Structure 1
């Protein structure tokens, strides 16, 4: 059976975040493909699905906004991370995706894959939905430079604090420099 991408975001994503759960309002529980968000859809999901989803979107936007501008300027098109979240994140042309399906690793593509949560990452490997050999950097972060995969804490303020967002941003920079070195 051929794998396909299910989730929210831009079809031509550069950064994909993988999460084990979905928003529980229509149409998200039944998505079978990639759905680009429209203006105000993030606010709609946050309003109807609660603070947990607002945190996921906030942490994603904060991460992108904290990236090195020299290598990731295309994610910093708005004056603040909040404006980026509301006007660009997960929309067509953003280069971002929040996926509910397992990663499809393509070594020739420059996509960076971020798996939210050690438990989810281990489950993906245990069920053979991903074949990745990551190296644990500490108790919470792992990296597979060959497949461009990072495992990090869940996108929540308590689990992925600002200090940990900065650490994750540094690991994305490491992967980007690895990609350029192998090109």
Structure 2
């Protein structure tokens, strides 16, 4: 199912998974240890290093009034190495469709799980195969949102697709998602 904290509140969904024997056939959310991100990057290539780097950069770019990830470490690199996808991090990288039927109807929307789907193609594939049963408001060719279910579709977690400018846009959208309104 994925990597990260079993009690995640910030979930990123990605179509592929690391091509390492220990991560194949994972059926639960497995927390990483401090050296796992580096090991996955070495074994699986630059693409996975970019996924982890962009994930940490996204968390670090979020508004501190809405999310506290950047308060845990001095830099996004330190956050990536010391917290990302580890136990008690509240973060997950999932290799399955969002389980929206499990989304809690929490009165305090800031405590609900945020769901980010990496890539328009993957999101449309999930919709077309009915693995994702929801309505998405497409803001443009790259970003879509569903306020009720706390879902955002964004470009794939790669520097070329999700540049620093787009990371800032994603951070603003995530704050707007928590506030329940698009500006």
The interval holding the TM-score normalised by the smaller chain is: over 0.9
Matched, 1:132 2:134: yes
Superposed CA RMSD: 1.2
Q: 2:105 aligns with which of 93, 99, 108?
A: 108
- Alpha-carbon shift at residue 76 of structure 1 (Å): 3.0
Aligned residue for 1:82? 77
Residues 70, 76 of structure 2: 8 Å contact kept: no
Structure 2 stretches lacking a partner, 5+ long:
107-111
Q: Residue 66 of structure 2 aligns to a residue in which SS? A: helix
Q: Deviation per CA, 1:80-127: give whole Å up to 9, x if none.
A: 000000000000110100000110111515001000000100111111
Aligned residue for 1:141? 143
Residues 64, 76 of structure 1: 8 Å contact kept: no
Residues 107, 147 of structure 1: 8 Å contact kept: no
Structure 1 stretches lacking a partner, 5+ long:
1-5
1:2-13 matches, cutoff 5 A? 6-13=1-8
Q: Deviation per CA, 1:105-161: give whole Å up to 9, x if none.
A: 115150010000001001111111111101111110000111110000000000000
Residues 11, 36 of structure 1: 8 Å contact kept: yes
Q: TM-score, normalised by structure 1?
A: 0.92
Aligned residue for 1:151? 153
Q: Distance in 2 between matches of 1:133 and 1:76?
A: 34
Runs of 4+ in 1 over 3 A off after TM superposition: none
Q: 1:53 aligns with which of 48, 54, 58?
A: 48
Residues 107, 146 of structure 1: 8 Å contact kept: no
Q: Distance in 2 between matches of 1:111 and 1:68?
A: 16
- Alpha-carbon shift at residue 39 of structure 1 (Å): 1.3
Residues 76, 84 of structure 1: 8 Å contact kept: no
Aligned residue for 2:17? 22
Residues 59, 69 of structure 2: 8 Å contact kept: no
Q: Residue 150 of structure 1 aligns to a residue in which SS? A: strand
Question: Which has the larger displacement, 101-110 or 27-36?
Answer: 101-110
Aligned residue for 1:72? 67
Q: TM-score, normalised by structure 2?
A: 0.92
In the alignment of these two chains, the number of paired residues is 174
Q: Distance in 1 between matches of 2:96 and 2:70?
A: 23
Aligned residue for 1:3? none
